[in-house]
Amino acid sequence: MRAFIVTIIASLFCTLGFSALALASPDASQGGQDKVTNIYVFSQQGCPYCAKALSLLEELKSKDYPELKIHEYDMKVHPDYFNKFTEFAKAYDSDINKVPTTFINKTAISGFRESDLRQMVEYCHLPVNTCVDPAKFVQEKLSQPTPVTETKPFTNTARPEVIGWILIGGLVIGGGIFIFNKMI
């Protein structure tokens, strides 16, 4: 009986260990140095915070992240860039009341927030993360039809992996109760 219980517990730990390895293993085709990270900055000439944001991004590119591709849109020099800015803001569900506004991955950063900029660049640089090109993200979001809101009856929204973890937890607890009852 004891060998049976040890076998069940060992197989449970092996299953959990292999699951964790499968979730944690990065895609070999995505090396951190090979990925291009596109960053879109909407700014205005003469804005000191815009200059700081662009300077920081250029510094990050020159020192640690040569794969950064910085797209600057100066709306004071080219007022037609404002239309592009409103498209980005709409897709990102962001306000258009501050410059600089930086779009990186699926994040919009309004104003000069150095720690947020550094954090997003580092996030996109890691080989295990996949960051989208903001221009492609905007194109996809704006090409989707506007969803029609309608009331639907309750549907099962449980995810299979959650159900699996609940079953594993139930087995572990049930096994513990079974062992405890046999000992008494």
Tell me: the pLDDT tens digits for 17-47?
A: 544 444 444 443 344 456 899 999 999 999 9
Beta-carbon-side half-sphere exposure of residue 14 (alpha carbons within 13 Å): 6
What's residue 179's pLDDT?
84
Return the closest-CA partner of residue 16 out of 182, 167, 180: 167
Band of residue 149 on the pLDDT scale cut at 50, 70, 90? low
Question: What pLDDT is attached to residue 22?
Answer: 43
Q: What is the pLDDT of residue 3?
A: 58
Segments making up each domain of the chain, as ranges: 37-143
Interatomic CA distance for residues 113 and 13, integer angstroms: 43
The CATH number fitting domain 37-143, selected from 3.40.30.10, 3.40.1360.10, 2.60.120.10, 3.40.1710.10: 3.40.30.10
Nearest alpha carbon to residue 125 among 72, 59, 52, 66:
66
Q: What is the pLDDT of residues 77-111, one digit of tens each?
A: 999 999 999 999 999 998 888 899 999 999 999 99
User: Token pair for residue 135?
Assistant: 């221009």
pLDDT band at 177 (very low <50, low <70, confident <90, very high): confident
With beta carbons less than 8 A apart as the criterion, state whether 52 and 21 touch. no
Say if residues 79 and 45 touch (Cβ distance below 8 Å): no
Residue in 135, 128, 80 with CA at minimum distance from that of residue 103: 135
- Closest CA relative to residue 41, chosen from 109, 116, 131, 137: 109
In the predicted structure, residue 116 carries a pLDDT above the cut 50: yes
* Residue 172 reports pLDDT greater than 90: no
Question: Rounded mean pLDDT of 43-67?
Answer: 96
